[in-house]
Amino acid sequence: MSKVAVAVVGASGYMGEELVRLLLTHPHAELTCITSRTYAGQTIGEVFPRYYEAGLTFTAPDVEEIASKAQVAFMSLPHGLAAEYAVPLAERGVRVIDVSADFRLDSPDVYKSYYGEHPAPEWLPKAVYGLAERNREQIRSAALIACPGCYPTSILLPTTVMLEKGLARPEGIIISSMSGVSGAGRKAEATLLFAECNESMRPYKVTGHRHLSEIEQELAKAAGLKELPVNFVPHLVPVNRGIHSTIFLQASRDDLSPLEVEKALRDAYGKEPFVRVLAPGELADTKHVTFTNRCEIGYAVDTRTKRLILSSAIDNLTKGGSGQAVQCFNIACGFDETAGLI
């Protein structure tokens, strides 16, 4: 089987580097183009010494050059900028898999309230939300795949099942998530310095976090509602990578049992290669999922408060971004979904 030529547009950030790592060893992908405005002209070995044998050189992003070298382009650019390359590449017949936020939302008005004016609103209805476990069939034929954000992935996988199965009420959902420092991206910022993050745990953006728009959009769909407001409180913790989310839901019945929760999760994910439903009494732990494309899900029912508590862990750079993008690539190209991933 011939390999598919792929490009990583914005390959020098944490997410881009993770894509490079996965694609260089992918059995069905040939990495033919890596772009970076900062490192244009430098070899991959100069920027990422561990990959010096790949023999690639960073170039400044150019639509025509990318289209001439790649059949599939992975976008790893900031919101707003990704659309500038994603749209013209898609128009030239290059399949685009975007790990930015540019095409995750259905509404340009919602996008505007969180990110600013959308650069290509006419493409929003054309994009497929790339949460493979929920949208696998749509991904197969999509020209533009919008991969979910890292926090939303950890939240949506367990919570949508509870809402769809009617085991939890949509009102009063509270989500507390913790992320490693790489989730903020590779940038020079005082609050992300080692001396500021080490031995420190702190919440941030406790109202209006950008991922809230995506979380609420997809939870509302699962609940069959037009809108579903939730509380989402992210925290920065002193680890390099990994996300843990604890989701508090009001049980739909006072007598909801853990067995019902377990059955719903196993019915939904029992055959999924990258979702592991934990045994009763076990809760998710990031050390079990880092550097993998897996999501762990645990659960508990508090009979005293009548709350259903979900516990979810992923690697923010892999299942929360680049690994999920490769999973979508496998589906879209007809490969085994697990190819190049663990």
Decide if pLDDT at 192 tops 80: no
DSSP bridge partners of 202: 236
Question: What does the alpha-carbon distance between residue 137 and residue 42 come to, in Å, rounded to a whole number?
Answer: 39
DSSP structure string for 141-157:
T-SEEEPPPHHHHHHHH
Among residues 33, 150, 295, 328, the one annotated as catalytic is 150
Q: Other CB atoms closer than 10 Å to residue 60's CB: what's the count?
A: 12
| Cα–Cα distance measured from residue 336 to residue 34, given in angstroms and rounded to the nearest whole number | 25
Between 194 and 154, where is the model more confident? Answer: 154
| pTM to 2 decimal places | 0.93
Nearest one of 39, 118, 34 to 80, comparing CA atoms: 118
SS3 category, 333:
helix
Closest CA to 186 of 8, 11, 9: 11
- Cα separation of 289 and 121, whole Å? 35
Residue reference for tokens 């025509």: 64
Give 183's pLDDT tier (boundaries 50, 70, 90).
confident
**What is the separation, in whole angstroms, between the first and last Cα of the chain?**
21
What pLDDT is stored for residue 310 in this prediction? Answer: 98
- Which is more confident, 174 or 182? 174
Given a cut of 80, whether residue 184 has pLDDT beyond it is no
Q: What share of the chain is helix, strand, coil (3-state, %, to 5)?
A: 40, 20, 40
Give SS3 for 310: strand
**How would residue 188 be classed by pLDDT, with cut points 50, 70 and 90?**
low
User: How are beta strands 144-146 and 95-98 bridged, if at all?
Assistant: parallel
Q: Is 150 a catalytic residue?
A: yes
